[in-house]
Amino acid sequence: MADKKISQLTGASTPLAGTEVLPIVQSGSTVKVSAADVTAGRAVSALTYTSTVATGTAPLTVTSTTEVANLRAANATSADSANAVKSNATTGLLQVAGPAAASTRVMTTPDANFTVARTDAANSFTGNQTLATGNLIQGTAAKGIDFSANTGAAGETSSLLNWYEEGTFTPVISGTSSAGTGTYSVQNGAYVRIGKMVQYQIYIVLTAHTGTGDIAIGGLPFAAGTGHYPPAAVYVNNLALTAGYYPQIAVSTASTNFLVRQVPTGGGAAIAIPMDTAFDILLSGTYQV
């Protein structure tokens, strides 16, 4: 074959198969090497790496387990930031290292469709977890914060804090013989429930009532459990009591009602308080559901 300039040679078909042979000078001698071996075992550097593979085998394969410094995904202002990092892996570990300043270590998502979860047996996170903004929302009823890691007392029955609620309710006065209907200028109730404990406050100003029998008070927001509960702190005004008696009111077991009684100052049996058509009463206390 006659000698030709390189510029006169026919162009090779691409992509190369890797078996093509190139002449090179090695240690002063001209030798041949396959195209695939030109960079084998050698470090390769370039300003850019552009893949033309649209589908099929991924253009970048890493077999080393050594961490790679400065490997970056597109930043938040990238035109394709929604696809900056993707993975369908079901195993493995993803670590995100923030900058040195703790205040800038923030992970954000564009909408509410985001979940962080662990699937290991412990299902736990270590270290202090801080909510910068927003609330920690209970996802399932009766689930909460489990304090069972604490050493409880011998009679401990639960270490789960699974309820917090605050609100208002409407207390109602009725007669035990005939419930009747009350007329109120004030009829307020408020409560806070933490776990199984309910703290309540009641303020009633009764101006008229058609009920008969003894006084009954109801309308608590939760039915009491089966225990026995201490008397409420009571203030009454213009309520007719038996001479030498004072009011004593406590939540009734397993109900949303109060046990309304009056007790002699010198000690003795408690008795009911007859219906009175106009009086003021304030109650404050706690009970357990």
Tens of pLDDT, residues 160-195: 999 999 999 999 999 999 999 999 999 999 999 999
pLDDT at 85 over 60: no
**Contact by Cβ (8 Å): 188, 206:** no
pLDDT at 270 over 90: yes
Where does the pLDDT of residue 237 fall: very low under 50, low under 70, confident under 90, or very high at 90 and above? very high
Domain extents in the chain:
169-288
Report the run of H or E that residue 243 belongs to, with start and end: none
Residue type, 117: A
pLDDT of residue 109: 62
pLDDT at 207 over 90: yes
Where does the pLDDT of residue 216 fall: very low under 50, low under 70, confident under 90, or very high at 90 and above? very high
pLDDT of residue 87: 46
Q: What angle do CA 141, 147, 149 make, to 5 degrees?
A: 140
